[in-house]
């Protein structure tokens, strides 16, 4: 009988459980549970004894068992429809930075906003996994139906977007307009006056926000953006090529073009090349995103960088705040500051 107990305390090859810890620390498993969950109702010396047992046994609470009892898993979902791999991977990295040491894991869930099963898919994902929370970058972060669903499912979420669409505890606001304004000032400072804008998809809020930041900053320098210099693109390379040709075939073509992402900037550069122009001599181009290729194309592309990784980290920290006993609305987080990365694709005028 006794030998059976002894063998149980050894448990070769098997992970220690809360029962093992309780036995070694000579407390009930409930007390061990209190220590794990950082309950304040544990006497200091008891806590220390339990902690010592935890350390000795190398005990790690089983997230599945905890999740089952809590009726909530230790999984954070990232739901995204972002087409840019760089954006997605950097944001994943940032979320993982914040999750490190918390015991939470990141489950990825790409989606398509125009899929007829979008809501059904997300519901299945969130409900089945009883997610701890969800983080969404644009544009799915801007989808009212998705947000409504998450509220109905009682699933905590953080939205990343260029506008404050929600309460502070559910938002990371990216201030894209600051970056667009910097781009405008940069081009104006280089002496350009005939400056054009190529917008992204109108269904993305970032397109309006970035566009407005650009227009406002130009206006500060006394430059008005005329309608023929204000084109609608689609955030794709192809739409950049098209917009580039449209702008460069104008009777009075612009000397500089700002596109609301890098893919379109490269499209504009392609169009200029197809027309026999030399860059940046004949045309200055500035993009937005600072993709890795911005530093690799010729001429190197001047572009606005958003701190994507930090944005992911900030979002995850908002999600974790309640668990850490912090009010997420009062969480001190740095402002998201876009920055212009100046390279050689925009040059001074003549």
Q: Which residues bind DNA (CB under 7 A)?
A: 14-15, 17-19, 27-34, 36-37, 40-43, 46-47, 59-62, 65-66, 68-71
SS3 196: strand
Helices (H), 114-175: 118-129, 144-152
Per CB under 8 A, does 293 bind its own copies? yes
Give the angle 77-39-106 at the CA atoms, nearest 5°: 15
Chain positions 67 to 86 lying near its own copies, rule: CB under 8 A, are: 67-68, 73, 75, 85-86
Residue nearer to its own copies on the CB measure, 64 or 249:
64
Task: Check: CB of residue 157 under 8 Å from CB of residue 180.
Answer: no
Query: What are the residues facing 267 on neighbouring strands?
Result: none
Q: How far is the CB of 68 from DNA (least distance, A)?
A: 4
Residue nearer to DNA on the CB measure, 14 or 296:
14
User: Which of 25, 43, 34 has the alpha carbon at shortest distance from 61?
Assistant: 34
CB atoms within 10 A of CB 220: 12
- Judged by CB under 8 A, the residue of 113, 120, 151, 273 near its own copies is 273
Task: Check: CB of residue 186 under 8 Å from CB of residue 217.
Answer: no
Chain positions 211 to 230 lying near its own copies, rule: CB under 8 A, are: none
- # of chain residues touching its own copies (CB under 8 A): 44
Task: Check: CB of residue 208 under 8 Å from CB of residue 278.
Answer: no
For residue 207, give Cα distances in angstroms to 55, 67, 200, 316: 52, 40, 5, 25
Task: Check: CB of residue 272 under 8 Å from CB of residue 306.
Answer: no
1 binds, among DNA, its own copies, none (CB under 5 to 8 A by kind): none
Q: How far is the CB of 34 from DNA (least distance, A)?
A: 6
51 binds, among its own copies, DNA, none (CB under 5 to 8 A by kind): none
307 binds, among DNA, its own copies, none (CB under 5 to 8 A by kind): none
Phi, psi angles (nearest 5°) of residue 75: -115, 130
- Judged by CB under 8 A, the residue of 15, 30, 281, 337 near its own copies is 15
Q: How far is the CB of 41 from its own copies (least distance, A)?
A: 26
Query: Strands (DSSP E) along the chain, which ranges?
Result: 75-80, 105-110, 133-136, 157-161, 171-173, 195-199, 230-232, 256-259, 284-288, 302-305, 339-341
Q: Which string of DSSP letters, residue by residue, matches 74-119? A: SEEEEEE----HHHHHHHHHHHHHHHTTTT-EEEEEE--TT-TTHH
96 binds, among DNA, its own copies, none (CB under 5 to 8 A by kind): its own copies
Q: How far is the CB of 56 from DNA (least distance, A)?
A: 15
Per CB under 8 A, does 93 bind its own copies? yes
Chain positions 103 to 142 lying near its own copies, rule: CB under 8 A, are: 103, 105-108, 110, 124-125, 127-130
- Judged by CB under 8 A, the residue of 52, 89, 164, 349 near its own copies is 89
Interacting residue ranges for its own copies, rule: CB under 8 A: 15, 60, 62-65, 67-68, 73, 75, 85-86, 88-90, 92-93, 96, 103, 105-108, 110, 124-125, 127-130, 237, 263, 266-267, 269-270, 273, 291-293, 295-298
């Amino acid at each position: 009988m006794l030998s059976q107990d002894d063998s149980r305390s050894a448990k070769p090859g098997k992970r220690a459980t809360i029962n093992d810890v309780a036995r070694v620390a000579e407390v009930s498993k409930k007390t061990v549970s209190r220590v794990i969950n950082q309950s304040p109702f544990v006497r200091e010396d008891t806590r220390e004894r339990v902690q010592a047992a935890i350390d000795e046994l190398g005990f790690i609470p089983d997230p599945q068992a905890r999740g089952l009892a809590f009726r909530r898993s230790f999984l954070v979902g990232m739901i995204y429809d972002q087409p840019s791999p760089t954006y997605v991977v950097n944001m994943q990295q940032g979320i993982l930075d914040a999750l490190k040491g918390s015991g939470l894991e990141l489950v990825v869930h790409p989606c398509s906003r125009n899929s007829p099963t979008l809501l059904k898919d997300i519901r299945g994902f969130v409900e089945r996994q009883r997610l701890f929370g969800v983080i969404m970058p644009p544009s799915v972060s801007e989808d009212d139906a998705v947000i409504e669903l998450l509220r109905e499912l009682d699933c905590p979420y953080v939205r990343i977007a260029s506008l404050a669409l929600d309460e502070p505890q559910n938002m990371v606001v990216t201030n894209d307009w600051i970056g667009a304004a910097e781009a405008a000032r940069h081009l104006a400072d280089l002496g350009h006056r005939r400056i054009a804008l190529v917008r992204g998809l109108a269904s993305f809020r970032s397109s309006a926000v970035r566009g407005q930041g650009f227009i406002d900053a130009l206006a500060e320098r006394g430059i008005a953006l005329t309608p023929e210099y204000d084109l609608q693109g689609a955030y794709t390379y192809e739409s950049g090529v098209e917009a580039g040709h449209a702008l460069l075939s104008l009777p009075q073509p612009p000397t500089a073009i700002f596109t609301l992402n890098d893919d379109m900037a490269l499209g504009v550069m392609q169009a200029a090349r197809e027309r026999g122009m030399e860059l940046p001599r004949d045309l200055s181009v500035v993009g937005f995103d600072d993709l890795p290729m911005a530093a690799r194309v010729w001429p190197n592309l001047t572009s606005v960088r958003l701190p994507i990784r930090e944005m992911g980290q900030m979002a995850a920290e908002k999600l974790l705040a309640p668990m850490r006993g912090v009010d997420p609305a009062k969480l001190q987080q740095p402002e998201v500051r876009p920055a212009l990365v100046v390279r050689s694709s925009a040059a001074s005028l003549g």
